[in-house]
Amino acid sequence: MDQKVRLSKRMSELGLCSRREADELIAKGLVRVNGEIVDQLGSKVLPSDQIELNKQAKSKLAKKASLILNKPVGYTSHSTAKDHPTVLDLIQKSNQDDLDNAFSFKIKEGLAPVGRLDIESQGLILLSQDGRVAKAVIGEQVEMEKEYLVRFEGQLNGEKLKRLSSGQMQIEGRRLKRCKVEQINPEQLRIVLVEGMKRQIRKMMENVDLRVTGLKRVRIGPVRLGPLPEGKWRYLTGEEVEALLKNKPARPPRSQVRRR
């Protein structure tokens, strides 16, 4: 027999929004279950129940901002390291790359990094006010590709390449998933992961006696860093957000294409 679950949890599972956003929408009477408005927090539903957001709820979620930032080395993804600036410090009008889109100081309200990029690494990091985006990228059971360019020191051979990509490597007692590893030149690799263990690439490289000297993330799922200058940010386009939610390819913005 199907067991009932909290409506907010079910909405999150369906990718409609985050649990926090679900509670806000439910309390405002913007959610229907089997055609009936449900506005009581803690309400429960069956997995087979039909859940709908009304137009106001959809409009409210669509207005939530999502950004892409080219993070420089020296910035932390989160505010746990008080001695260093964070990526949120870079979200200023002076660093905005797509000046055709209006800047609002309210953009930083509820804005949070989607995933991590350690202080020594650079490149693409997403920030969003939208719980759907966070869930699509870093939610449980999600296997969205993250692509990195990795510079290294040490002797690389075919056996080490095989170990890096095979899915047989263990780090801190955890077996890693298979990944894609391609040698670009004698000092650089392209690595594509589908998981996000803390400092995973650095630990993988140490495991085969290689030392990372530079690490840059250039893609998360369908979103590519492209020619976005270091330290700059821009809004994700509506198409890019939808592509993230569906994990499907997206065309880069025209402004990014012109620079190629």
Residue 1 vs residues 42, 46, 47, 50, 124: alpha-carbon distances, Å: 21, 10, 11, 18, 45
Single-letter residue type at 225: L
Active-site choice (89, 100, 118, 209):
118
Which of 151, 152, 200 is CA-nearest to residue 179?
A: 200
- Give SS3 for 246: helix
118 is catalytic: yes
DSSP state of 221: T
As a whole number of Å, the CA-based R_g of the chain is: 20
- How far apart are alpha carbons 242 and 256 in whole angstroms? 18
- How far apart are alpha carbons 161 and 159 in whole angstroms? 5
- The residues that are catalytic are 118
